[in-house]
Amino acid sequence: MSKSLADVPVRPFTKPAGIVNATVDNKSGLLPGTYTPPEHMVTDLFAEGTVPTETDNLHQYMDICATTGDLPNDFCTDRITKVVVKLPYTVPSNVADFAIRAPQTTCTLHNAYGIDPEQAEKYQLSPPPDVDNPSTPTTNPDNGNGWLPPGTTGLNDASDDRNTIRRSANNRNRQ
């Protein structure tokens, strides 16, 4: 298209009568709400009378278990509060905005006794640093996506060594 318009002079767009600008939430399509972050606001053109009148209710402040990224249970002591998008349906993890979606499951890692070693496998807790080999680099298993706390992936990889995971959970219980 740019080749075909290369010789055509650029001229400003004149907004037709009956067209208005309005800023809306790009997740709900409604007017921005209290918790709508600026990066989720877009200004668009609307035909007069079609601008949304309701306020966004998908963005909500929610407590989340900082270790697992799930909804906290009564035994989760390390919680974070953040704005998430809460929808009445779930999506697969490859959906672009999956990381900002409200968690649908409750943490099963923490219990009355600390950390459940069996559940530690599910959350792939990082093993403690190798004190005998301090040059061993530490890794960030969430690949820097910022949604999950450092040391968790939220994925289940059966190839992880069960004993390493259990040692990690036991060490965390002792802290």
Residue found by looking up tokens 């075909």 in the block? 4
pLDDT tens, residue by residue, 76-101:
999 999 999 998 888 888 988 888 99
- 3-class SS letters over 65-107: ECCCCCECCCCCCCEEEEEEECCCCCCCCCCCCHHHECCCCEC
Q: Does this model's pTM top 0.75? A: no
Cα distance between residue 35 and residue 17, in whole Å: 33
Residue found by looking up tokens 């960030």 in the block? 140
pLDDT tens, residue by residue, 104-163:
899 999 999 888 888 887 777 655 555 565 555 544 444 444 444 444 444 444 334 444
Structure tokens at 30: 């409604």
| The pairing of beta strand 110-111 with beta strand 114-115 | antiparallel
With beta carbons less than 8 A apart as the criterion, state whether 76 and 110 touch: yes
Structure tokens at 19: 């067209």
pLDDT tens, residue by residue, 6-53:
889 988 988 899 999 999 999 999 999 999 999 999 999 999 999 999
Structure tokens at 4: 């075909």
